[in-house]
């Protein structure tokens, strides 16, 4: 996914708001849905694109599992009011990783294997990978997510 992480977080946040009222539900869903791509700052400014950013720890599902479990246990014990936004945050991260798996490589098997998984391969048919991706049929998933987010936003404003 190139553009649909933020709108997918919006769809998640709107859905989460149906099941509970908490002022941090939407921000948590939005932040979780885009957080793994903050590694692009390191990728472009420090690493000089030496290693694809999906190899960094923020794109490794096992890392988030290791963070999720104690976080949820601590919140359950001492701050249960923060469980709904925490769930939205971690589901946003999971959603990000699932969307990246459509046409990008994600290491779902870590720590058992380093193998990267993707559902579809986008061949390099254009001079730039972004053009190849936008012109590939899988980009229609992004357009559908955008359409759903816009629909939910418009519906909320009526």
Give the model's pLDDT for residue 155.
Answer: 95
* Count of Cβ atoms closer than 10 Å to residue 116 Cβ: 17
- Nearest in space to 13 (alpha carbons), one of 80, 97, 87: 87
* Count of Cβ atoms closer than 10 Å to residue 114 Cβ: 9
Per-residue pLDDT of the chain (158 residues; tens, 9 = 90+): 889 999 999 999 999 998 888 999 999 999 999 999 999 999 999 998 898 899 999 999 999 999 999 999 999 999 999 999 999 999 999 999 999 999 999 999 999 999 999 999 999 999 998 999 999 999 999 999 999 999 999 999 98
Q: Which residues contact 130 (CB under 8 A, 6 or more apart)?
A: 2
Phi, psi of 110 (to 5 degrees): -60, 135
- Please give the distance of CA 101 from its chain centroid, rounded to a whole number: 10
- Which H helix or E strand runs over 61? helix 61-78
Task: Write out the residue range of the structural domain in which residue 44 sits.
Answer: 4-157
Q: Please count the structural domains in the chain.
A: 1
User: Which of the 8 DSSP states describes residue 135?
Assistant: T
Say whether 148 sits in a helix, a strand or coil: helix
Phi, psi of 14 (to 5 degrees): -65, -40
Give the model's pLDDT for residue 26.
Answer: 97
């Amino acid at each position: 996914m190139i553009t649909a992480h933020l709108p997918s977080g919006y769809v998640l946040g709107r859905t989460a708001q149906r099941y509970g009222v908490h002022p941090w539900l939407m921000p948590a869903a939005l932040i979780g849905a885009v957080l793994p791509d903050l590694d692009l700052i390191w990728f472009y400014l420090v690493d000089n694109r030496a290693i694809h950013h999906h190899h960094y720890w923020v794109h490794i599902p096992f890392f988030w599992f290791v963070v999720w479990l104690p976080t949820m246990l601590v919140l359950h014990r001492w701050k249960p009011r923060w469980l709904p936004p925490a769930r939205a945050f971690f589901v946003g991260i999971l959603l990000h990783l699932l969307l990246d798996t459509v046409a990008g490589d994600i290491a779902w098997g870590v720590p058992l294997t380093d193998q990267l998984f993707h559902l579809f391969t986008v061949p390099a048919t254009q001079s730039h990978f972004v053009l190849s991706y936008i012109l590939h049929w899988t980009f229609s998933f992004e357009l559908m997510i955008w359409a759903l987010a816009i629909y939910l936003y418009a519906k909320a404003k009526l």
